[in-house]
Amino acid sequence: MDFPYQDRYEINRRLPAQGRPRGEVLAELREMATEEDAFWETGKCSGTMYCGDHEHYDFMTEAFRLYAHVNALQRDMCPSVTKFESEIIAMVLDLMHAEAIDDTEPVGLVTTGGTGSILHAMLAYRERAQETVGIWAPNVIKPETAHPAFDKACHLFDIQVRVAPVDPVTTKVDTEWVANNIDDQTVALIGSACNYGYGTVDPIDELSELALAHDIGLHVDSCLGGFILPFGQELGYDIPVFDFRIPGVTSISADTHKYGYAFKGSSTLLFRDKPLRNAQYFYLTDWTGGKYCSPGIEGSRSAGIIAATWAAMVQLGRDGYRRYAEKIFNTSGAMQEAVRSHPELRILGDPTFLFSFTSDDFDIYHVNDFMRPRGWRFNGQQYPNALHMAVTRPQTQPGVAEAFAIDLDEAVAYAKENAENTAASSAIYGGVMGGMTDEADSFIKMVMADLLDSQQRVPPE
Give pLDDT tens digits for 240-265. Answer: 999 999 999 999 999 999 999 999 99
Q: What percent of the chain clears pLDDT 70, i.e. is strictly above it?
A: 92
Q: For 317-357, how does the pLDDT look when each residue is reduced to its tens digit (9 = 90+)? A: 999 999 999 999 999 999 999 999 999 999 999 999 999 99
d(CA 266, CA 54): 19
| pLDDT at position 376 over 90 | yes
- Secondary structure element (H or E) that encloses residue 111, with its range: strand 107-111
Helices (H) and strands (E) in the chain, counts: 13, 13
Cα–Cα distance between 65 and 41 in angstroms, integer? Answer: 24
* Inter-CA distances, 14 with 18, 19, 453, Å: 11, 12, 19
Position 185 scores a pLDDT of 98
pLDDT digits 0-9 by tens, 136-169? 999 999 999 999 999 999 999 999 999 999 999 9
**In this structure, what is the dihedral angle of CA atoms 314, 318, 324, 327, given to the nearest 10 degrees?**
-170
User: In whole angstroms, what is the distance from residue 132 CA to residue 242 CA?
Assistant: 27
End-to-end alpha-carbon separation of the chain, Å?
A: 13
Would you list the DSSP string of 397-421?
STTHHHHHHHHHHHHHHHHHHTTTS
Q: Please, what is the angle between helix 148-157 and helix 114-133, to 10°?
A: 40
25 — pLDDT class (breaks 50, 70, 90):
very high
Residue 73: predicted pLDDT? 86
Average pLDDT, the chain: 94
Contacts of 86 (CB under 8 A, 6+ apart): none
Distance CA 368, CA 373 (A): 9
Mode of pairing for the β-strands spanning 292-294 and 354-359: unpaired
Three-class SS state of 247: coil
- What are the φ and ψ backbone dihedral angles of 321, each rounded to 5 degrees? -60, -40
- State the pLDDT at residue 457: 66
| pLDDT surpassing 50 at residue 15 | yes
C-alpha closest to that of 333 among 243, 238, 254: 238
- Cβ of 304: how many Cβ atoms within 10 Å? 22
Q: Which domains does the chain have, with CATH numbers?
A: 79-301 (3.40.640.10), 316-449 (3.90.1150.10)
CA 372 to chain centroid:
23
Question: For residue 444, is pLDDT > 70?
Answer: no
Residue 429: the pLDDT is 45
Query: CB within 8 A of 160, min separation 6: which ones?
Result: 137, 138, 139, 140, 154, 185
Amino acid at 28: E
**pLDDT surpassing 90 at residue 456:** no
Per-residue model confidence (pLDDT) at position 451: 60
How many of the other CB atoms lie within 10 Å of CB of 22? 8
Mean local confidence (pLDDT), 108-125 = 97
Length of the chain: 461
Residue 96 in contact with residue 270, Cβ under 8 Å?
yes
Bridge partners of 140, per DSSP, are 161, 188
Q: Are 107 and 273 in contact (CB under 8 A)?
A: yes
Helix (H) or strand (E) holding 271: strand 267-271
Query: Which pLDDT belongs to residue 384?
Result: 94
**Per-residue pLDDT, 459:** 74
Q: Is the pLDDT of residue 439 over 80?
A: no
314 Cβ neighbours under 8 A, 6+ residues apart:
87
3-state secondary structure of 147: coil
Which pLDDT tens digit goes with each residue over 194-243?
Answer: 999 999 999 999 999 999 999 999 999 999 999 999 999 999 999 999 99
CB-based contacts of 113, cutoff 8 Å, min separation 6:
255, 257, 264, 265, 266, 267
Q: Report the distance separating Cα 251 and Cα 187, nearest Å.
A: 13
pLDDT band of residue 75 (cuts 50, 70, 90) is: confident
| Long-range contacts at 316-324 (CB < 8 A, ≥ 24 apart) | 316/261, 318/231, 321/227, 321/228, 321/231, 321/259, 321/261, 322/231, 322/234, 322/235, 324/259, 324/261, 324/393, 324/396
| Amino acid making up residue 166 | V
pLDDT bucket at 453, cuts 50 / 70 / 90: low
Q: What is the mean pLDDT of residues 380-405?
A: 96
